Chains A and B, each alone.
Chain A
Amino acid sequence: MDKRTKFTLDENEIPTQWYNILADLPEPMPPVLHPGTGKPVTPDDLAPLFPMELIKQEVSTERLWRPTTLFRAHKLEKALDTPAKIFYKYEGTSPPGSHKPNTAVAQVYYNKMEGVKRITTETGAGQWGSALSFGGACFGVEIKVYMVRISYDQKPYRRVMMQTWGAKCVPSPSRDTKAGRAMLEKDPECPGSLGLAISEAVEEAVSRDDTHYALGSVLNHVLLHQTVNGLETKKLMEKMDVYPDIIVGCIGGGSNFAGLYLPFAKDKIDGAKPDLRIINVEPASCPTVTRGPYSYDFGDEAGLTPLLKMNTLGHGFIPPPVHAGGLRYHGMAPIICHLHNLGLVEARAVHQLSTFEAGVTFARAEGIISAPETNHAIRVGIDEALTCKESGEAKTILIAHSGHGHVDMAAYDAYFSGKLKDYEYPEDKIKEALAELPQVSG
């Protein structure tokens, strides 16, 4: 086994094509449905929102911060005293510090090619909004970000990052849209939700000819862009002659982790690696895949988006404010839900205190201070390594490290000062959400 810690591709080895898992699925995905007619959507239905190229999606490549490094976590292995070999692919070296620019830059590029002047989007904690703002600065496209109000107030740093890159960031609910004004009338103190922010961004995009909308996760083309990460990792591991037994990562909308594992999932679908385990990790306070039903639902609060077949906590979901770690979307990438439904990938929910504990262990061993989202992946990576310690098995564990936590130190502060609490999402809320799901014929 290689004693080295860092494994990096040359720039000319960056994969030049993404990996499209749709072609390799054992069963086709359930279609996306039109919110009005309930019929499968056509490319023309999506044209007011996205550029045609994204709808058709072909290839591109980005070199500024790519390729990213695959690390062998020698020091963490030692600290855990485990025979497991732990690797992590680190996406924190991009300018916004996460995996998000992999799709942000690609989406702004395709919009620019189609002559789009403005792009609206939503953001929760601000990772996606800052990544898209960075993408806007790359190509001179104006970006407007609707940021979930509680994060807008609590996390000013991401907002300042967006401003630095020249974007406009407003708190959602806002007075700029019908959906925002309706919510403010109902509840002037509304902390906002990702679903509502999406409604606002979509509403503005469809009401202006010069404006398109961009989504930072969930959709197939976003996952496609993120596969550059998995393809790089696969190439690196092939060079080292290792293959993961277990791949773990965190899921909010699912794009970071799917981007890492879809090229590996292909080997499982093909039957080449039947024992490969892929574990999607989510917060116990937003347990979309582990507890939400697999059903058609809207992607946003107001019901403007097409209907997606996915695990969902209901489009009216407002995350509990005690939750500090991101990953708080009511739905999930349909590709992940489909793979989960077919039994090809697993899902696990973890509590936030245990994720911060894992993040601190990781930081003290490996040095990198991770995003609270990433700590979910690290938690399960460590748990699997500890299982190996008990069984004596030297399994290879690959962790999707989605980004650094330098802009999230307030959450660490809350953890150290004992202000964070665990929160189990109540069963009756899931039942309530079920009753609100849109009815789909057939």
Chain B
Amino acid sequence: MFLAPRAYHQLESHEAALTWARTEGFIATPETSQARAAVIEDAKKAKEESKEKVILFNYSGHGLMDLTTRIYPGNSLIMNCRKKNCRSISAALRICLRLRCEKVENAKNIRFSLDP
């Protein structure tokens, strides 16, 4: 197989973005974060298998124009969670809290859209 496409949910990729920013320093675009989520997944897998892999990823650009995707207070926040996937819902809340969403209890600002 030459290519292995993978799809990630945006919350996973945003979480990967935070990990990246707090370790490597650079704030990347949400698009780049998808790639990074795959990198982190592969790096974890390599750790589990004790394999030393060289991972190259395409870092397409900075996210300084995309910071509104991280602004929660005052804006509606739409989160896509797969139905019955408690893990992503808790990840969503975790990210919300970590970003110090001022009014987490203010539920009208936070909407969960459940994929069918």
Which A residues fall within an 8 A CB radius of B? 64-65, 95, 97, 134, 137-138, 156-157, 160-161, 163-166, 168, 406-407, 409
Residues of B within 8 Å of A163, CB to CB, are 70, 99-100
From A64, A65, A166, B22 is in contact (CB under 8 Å) with: A166
A-B CB pair tally, cutoff 8 Å: 47
- Say yes or no: is B4 at the interface (Cβ < 8 Å to chain A): no
Residues of A within 8 Å of B100, CB to CB, are 163, 168
Distance between Cα atoms of A166 and B99 in the complex (Å): 8
Residues of B within 8 Å of A406, CB to CB, are 62, 64-65
Contacts A163-B99, A406-B65; is A156 near B71 (CB within 8 Å)?
yes
Instruction: Decide: B27 and A164 in contact? CB cutoff 8 A.
Output: yes
Instruction: Decide: B71 and A64 in contact? CB cutoff 8 A.
Output: no
From A137, A161, A165, B67 is in contact (CB under 8 Å) with: A161
Closest 9 CB pairs of A and B: A95-B25, A406-B64, A160-B67, A157-B67, A137-B22, A95-B26, A164-B21, A160-B70, A407-B64
Contacts A160-B70, A163-B70, A164-B70; is A64 near B64 (CB within 8 Å)?
no
Residues of B within 8 Å of A138, CB to CB, are 25
Residues of B within 8 Å of A165, CB to CB, are 21-22
Produce 1/0 per residue, B77-116, CB < 8 A to A.
0000000000000000000000110000000000000000
Distance between Cα atoms of A408 and B26 in the complex (Å): 18
| Least CB separation from B73: chain A residue | A156
Distance between Cα atoms of A165 and B27 in the complex (Å): 9
| Least CB separation from A405: chain B residue | B64
| Least CB separation from B101: chain A residue | A163
Instruction: Decide: A161 and B27 in contact? CB cutoff 8 A.
Output: yes
Distance between Cα atoms of A399 and B113 in the complex (Å): 50
| Extra A-B contacts (10), CB below 8 Å, given A137-B25, A160-B71 | A95-B27, A97-B64, A137-B21, A160-B67, A160-B99, A163-B70, A163-B100, A164-B17, A166-B22, A406-B62
Residues of A within 8 Å of B27, CB to CB, are 95, 161, 164
23 interchain pairs, CB-CB under 8 A = A64-B25, A65-B25, A95-B21, A97-B62, A137-B25, A156-B67, A156-B71, A157-B64, A157-B68, A160-B71, A160-B99, A161-B27, A163-B100, A164-B18, A164-B21, A164-B22, A164-B27, A164-B70, A164-B99, A165-B22, A166-B22, A406-B62, A406-B65
Most A CB contacts (10 A, CB to CB) among B17, B68, B70 go to B70
| Least CB separation from B65: chain A residue | A406
Interface size on B, residues (CB 8 A): 17
Distance between Cα atoms of A160 and B68 in the complex (Å): 8
Distance between Cα atoms of A64 and B24 in the complex (Å): 9
- A-facing residues in B9-67 (Cβ within 8 Å): 17-18, 21-23, 25-27, 62, 64-65, 67
Distance between Cα atoms of A374 and B23 in the complex (Å): 28
Distance between Cα atoms of A174 and B62 in the complex (Å): 32
Distance between Cα atoms of A143 and B28 in the complex (Å): 21
- Chain B min CB distance to A190 (Å): 21
Distance between Cα atoms of A163 and B71 in the complex (Å): 10
- Chain A min CB distance to B77 (Å): 13
Residues of A within 8 Å of B62, CB to CB, are 97, 406
Distance between Cα atoms of A137 and B62 in the complex (Å): 18
Distance between Cα atoms of A341 and B54 in the complex (Å): 57
- Chain B min CB distance to A191 (Å): 19
Distance between Cα atoms of A95 and B25 in the complex (Å): 6
Distance between Cα atoms of A168 and B22 in the complex (Å): 14
| Least CB separation from A163: chain B residue | B99
Residues of B within 8 Å of A157, CB to CB, are 64, 67-68
Most A CB contacts (10 A, CB to CB) among B17, B18, B27, B64 go to B64
Residues of A within 8 Å of B65, CB to CB, are 406, 409
- Chain A min CB distance to B61 (Å): 11
- Chain A min CB distance to B64 (Å): 4
- Chain A min CB distance to B19 (Å): 11
| Least CB separation from A407: chain B residue | B64
Residues of A within 8 Å of B22, CB to CB, are 137, 164-166
Residues of A within 8 Å of B67, CB to CB, are 156-157, 160-161, 164, 407
- Chain A min CB distance to B30 (Å): 12
Residues of A within 8 Å of B18, CB to CB, are 164
| Least CB separation from B62: chain A residue | A406
Distance between Cα atoms of A207 and B67 in the complex (Å): 34
- Chain A min CB distance to B45 (Å): 25
| Least CB separation from B75: chain A residue | A156
Distance between Cα atoms of A406 and B22 in the complex (Å): 20
Distance between Cα atoms of A166 and B100 in the complex (Å): 10
Distance between Cα atoms of A397 and B13 in the complex (Å): 44
Distance between Cα atoms of A161 and B17 in the complex (Å): 12
| Least CB separation from B99: chain A residue | A163
